[in-house]
Amino acid sequence: MTTISAGPGAGAEPAGVRHVKRPTPLRESVYEALTEMIIDGTLERGRHLVEVELAGILGVSRQPVREALQRLNNEGWVDLRPGFGAMVHVPAEDEVDQLLAARAALESESARLAARHASKDDVAKLRELCKVGTTYQEAGDIDGTVRTNGELHTLITQMSGNRFLVDFAAQVDRRVRWYYTPVAPVRGAASWREHNRLVKAISEGDEDKAAQIMREHTEHTRKAYHDLQATSAPAESPEADASPRRRRRTTS
């Protein structure tokens, strides 16, 4: 449980005084924890969120949970229904299309610029991430696969040398991870083959090819998401048990 430090004294302070960063406020820690639980599927889409149960899971009082749920509602992670309570948001198809369209635009340009600016060390790091991600994928480790996928895409964006692209990409990263997590087992080895092709284009300085592969890569993810939604079972009813269920590895 996060401890909140005492605030600064009420008296005047000497010129030039700067306070060091204090521990993260409890409400922020609760917000971050709930966001990650939604992203990794611990709190499944459509699940009824009960404040007292979430408070028990996180070892906090209900107040910071209530504040976090309000913020999550404002950001589109949670839906607050009058007379019923909070539900994990179930994304509409057009939400996914809009997000991945934005991602394709950002990351295809990042890939193009990465091909222009990549150093040998950058390429070596990308290749290593491909190896690690493939190992996780073959082991059926969803968490490792999703995390490494995110690290690879983030590194490519950073390699672009465009700080605005980095900032914009960071804003959609969490939502992309949320959509990508259920797709990771479906995309499987194909995703990492595409990553390897992308890294090869970047290493060769082929800007147009790198951008094209990235656009196709994002489109394959979008299609896989919609195919999965079309074949998956309907979302759980609001009355479903609010206790989280963790699914860390795929079955063999």
The CA distance from 224 to 186, in Å, is: 7
Report the phi/psi class of residue 141: left, alpha or beta, with left for phi > 0 and alpha for psi in -120 to 50: beta
Is 0.85 surpassed by the pTM of this model?
no
pLDDT in tens, 36-51: 999 988 999 999 999 9
Which residue is listed with tokens 């209530």?
A: 66
Task: Please list the rounded mean pLDDT of every run of 10 residues in the chain (252 residues).
Answer: 43 49 79 93 93 95 95 95 91 87 93 97 98 96 92 96 93 87 90 97 98 95 88 51 43 32
**pLDDT of the residue at 156:** 97
Residue 150 amino acid letter: G
